[in-house]
Every structure is written in structure tokens, then in C-alpha cells.
Amino acid sequence: MITAPQTTTAAASSNHDAEQPDPSNGSESSGRQVIDFGNGLLRGSMAAASLELRNESAVGADVSCWLDTLGASEDPTPCLHLPGRQLQRRASVLQGGPLRMKASQEQMGPFSSHAGRAMSAAKQIQATAMLLGQEQAFHSASAAVQTPSFAFPSWQRAAELLQIYKQLSKAKLSLLVVASAGAGYVAGSPENISWPGLGWTVTGTFCAAACANTLNQVYEVLPDGKMKRTNRRPLPTGRLPVGHALAFAAVTGGLGVSILASKANSLTAGLGAANIGLYAGIYTPLKALTPVNTWVGAVVGAVPPLMGWAAASGGRLDWGALVPAAALYFWQLPHFLAIAWLCRADYARGGFRMLSLADPLGKRTARAALRNALYLMPLGALATAIGLTTPAFTVEAAIISGALASTAASFYRSPSNGTARLLLKLSRLPNIGDLLW
């Protein structure tokens, strides 16, 4: 049985080229095997292989994992993508030879924490070898990878984690959720607005939204890896373990509900907790089962104004609270139906059941978008009639909802990427805010 002796990266600091294994020690195999690890394919003959994490100058660029079949071709075959920064590591495995990590202190610099990713890749090679019947040659591959002792600067790791947390939280989307909860708080305030109360409400709402969005990405890590619009997220790229993401969701969810319970009231906290469950536990699984998921998702988006109203009113909901919630519900459907049409091929790759996938001509999708845009039109006048807004808002709302309905009608008359893109652009909340301003 052939084993891989322990080596350290420090010993190789000045002999990077001298320690290349001799290809003659391995026995070539003409057969090529393919093992699918989800994020990439590991290809090549297991007679001789090399794992190379190449130096990339761009911060946050991919570090690629390669598997060489020595003597078969001069260029390695890309097989697995690992995230990283300015890291140059090389591990070579030969049947009958050792696995050695080759990296000098200069090459590693402050980025030694990425050695754990090299360890993970080595274990994947070992697992592949076992599947291919080469267990004896590779059984101790991962044991030969030693993590160097160079310290990773805490500020750089903190900055990297902050960016990852922003992506897990879908920060821009969560800020829109916060804005809708804030609008509900202002509308539900009896007289003077409590600014500290508003601050605590939007903070708790943001944390709850971050939790729900993170759980959504944990559940959809495999579909996300197949879709162009989502395959750069932290979990499909391996920049963060799923367990870490779950811990982040637990912290943000617990913090958000606790803030809403202690600084607002139990109804607001209950709505926040229920919305996390509705989004992560019902809407997310439904995406792979039925096109109804779009309508369920719109309910999720309509809850934050109710949370804001409940927080401002001392835990009471009346008929007035339903107006901003209904407005947000009917606005979301044209918006997300336009996305479903534009991204229908991507959704098909991810295995999601969207209305647009069963609608090759686009008529059903466009009809649903138009119908809900029309439902939105009278809500501005209704808000004024019950005293929520001023008469001027009725005019503004009529202009905006009329423009949205007109664009949805164009999409219905001529379903195409162009008309869907125009509907998507007009229905973006920041653009609506610009019109109101």
C-alpha cells in the first residue's frame, strides 16, 4: 500500500520547482473518468493528477482547481472552481508518490486561511480515487496537506464576511422590505411619529428579512448553482459553508423577532416570525412544485406594511392597514411576472415551476400581469377616502398605476423580451420613488 508522507509548506519555500513529482513514477491510464461534485466536474485519468490553485490578481476572483493527466495533454482540464484571493498553491499526486503542498511564505502572504480549501479539494481527489478503485494510492492524500501558520489579518476576513453577509441577506431587497414596513409605520401612527419606535421596527424587520433570505439560499443552493443569475452567490461558489449560513440565519432571525417583541409588540413579532416561515418554509419549496409560488411570494411581500402598522398602533390592525398591504401585493405581481418571462430559460435550468415556462407565447403571463396592474389603480383613491393620504396623492397614484397598467397592456398585446423589460423597469420601486419625488 502506498501512502503520502507528511510535509509542510515551509519546507518548500525555496524549492517550489525542485519538488515536482516525476511523471515516470506513475502509470498512465488511457481511460478518462468524470465525477460530478455539483459545482464542477473532476476529469482525467487517476494515474497522475495535479491540483493547482492559480494566482489571480483580481480581489475575489476564482481560484481554479485543475486535474492533469500527465502525458495526455500539455494543458490541464478545469474541473472545480474554488473562491479565493491572490493565492498560489500546488499539490501534486502520483500513483506511488506523495502529495505535497508547495507554497512559499511570499506566495502565501496573509492568505493562509485558504489552505483549508486546498485541504477540502484534496479530500475530493481522495474520494474520487476511492470511487475509481485507487484507494490505496490516494487514501492519505488529505493527511499530507498541512495548514501553514501565517496569520490571516482579521480586518480582511471581517470585510470579506461582511460582503458575504450582504449577499446572503439580499441587502437591497431587504432595504425595500424595510421601506415598506416604515411606510406602514408612518401610515399607522395615530398622531406624532415615534422615531425611536420606527428605528427599532425597521431594524427588527431588516434582521427578519435577512434571516428569510439566507434560509432561502440554503434551501436552493443546488438550483442556484445551475442558474446564471444566482451561481455567483456565496453558497454555490463555496465561499461560505452551509452551516455558517444557517448560524447567520439563526442569529438574524432570533435577533429580529426579539427586537420586534421587546421594542414593538407581540403582534409585530408574530407577523415577522410568520413571514420568515412563509417565505422559507412554504414559498421557497413551492418554487419547484407549482407556478402558484409567485402569488404566495407576493403575500410575503405584503406583510411588512402590516408589521409597521401593528408596531405604530400598539398591536392593532384595522381596515386601513390593508390598503398599503394590498398596494404592495398587486404591484409585485407585474414585477415578478416580468422577471419570470425574461429569465424563463434560467428558471428552467434551476428546476423551478414558473408560469412563463408553461406559456411559450407569453399571453398567460402578460394577462396575469395586466390584471394585477389594473387592480392596483383604485387603491390611491381609496387611501385618500379613508384619510390615509392627501388628495394630491390620489393624482400621483393614478399617474403611476396608469403608466404601469399601460405598460402591462403593451406586454399583453405583444409579449416579448422588450415589452417585459419595459414593464420590469417601470415597476421597480426606486423608479416609482423617483416619479413621486
**CATH fold label, 158-436:** Tetracycline Repressor; domain 2 (1.10.357)
| Alpha carbons 427 and 421: distance in angstroms, whole number | 10
CA count, 13 A, side-chain hemisphere, 232:
8
The confidence score (pLDDT) of residue 35 equals 36
Average pLDDT taken over every residue of the chain: 74
| Alpha carbons 154 and 113: distance in angstroms, whole number | 11
End-to-end C-alpha distance for the chain, whole angstroms = 75
SS3 186: helix
Q: What is the pLDDT of residues 44-70, one digit of tens each?
A: 333 333 333 333 333 333 333 333 333
Kindly tell me the burial class for residue 8, based on how many C-beta atoms sit within 10 Å of its own C-beta (0-12, 13-18, 19 or more): middle
Distances (CA, A) of 291 to 135, 327, 343, 351, 419: 46, 22, 14, 12, 21
CB count in 10 Å sphere of residue 59: 9
Per-residue pLDDT of the chain (437 residues; tens, 9 = 90+): 333 334 333 333 333 333 333 433 433 333 433 333 333 333 333 333 333 333 333 333 333 333 333 333 334 333 333 333 333 333 333 333 333 333 333 333 333 334 444 445 555 555 554 444 444 434 444 443 444 444 455 788 888 999 999 999 999 999 999 999 999 999 999 888 999 999 999 999 999 999 999 999 999 999 999 999 999 999 999 999 999 999 999 999 999 999 999 999 999 999 999 999 999 999 999 999 999 999 999 999 999 999 999 999 999 999 999 999 999 999 999 999 999 999 999 999 999 999 999 999 999 999 999 999 999 999 999 999 998 888 998 999 999 999 999 999 999 999 999 999 999 999 986 655 443 33
| Alpha carbons 45 and 81: distance in angstroms, whole number | 19
| Alpha carbons 359 and 171: distance in angstroms, whole number | 32
- State the chain's maximal CA–CA distance in angstroms: 86
Residue type, 320: G
SS3 191: coil
Q: What is the pLDDT of residues 333-390, one digit of tens each?
A: 999 999 999 999 999 999 999 999 999 999 999 999 999 999 999 999 999 999 888 8
DSSP codes joined into one string, 278-339: IIIIIIHHHTTT-TTHHHHHHHHHHHHHHHHHHHHTTS---HHHHHHHHHHHHHHHHHHHHH
Place of cell 417601470: 426
Place of cell 406583510: 303
Q: Cite the residue boundaries of each domain of the chain with CATH code 1.10.357.140.
A: 158-436
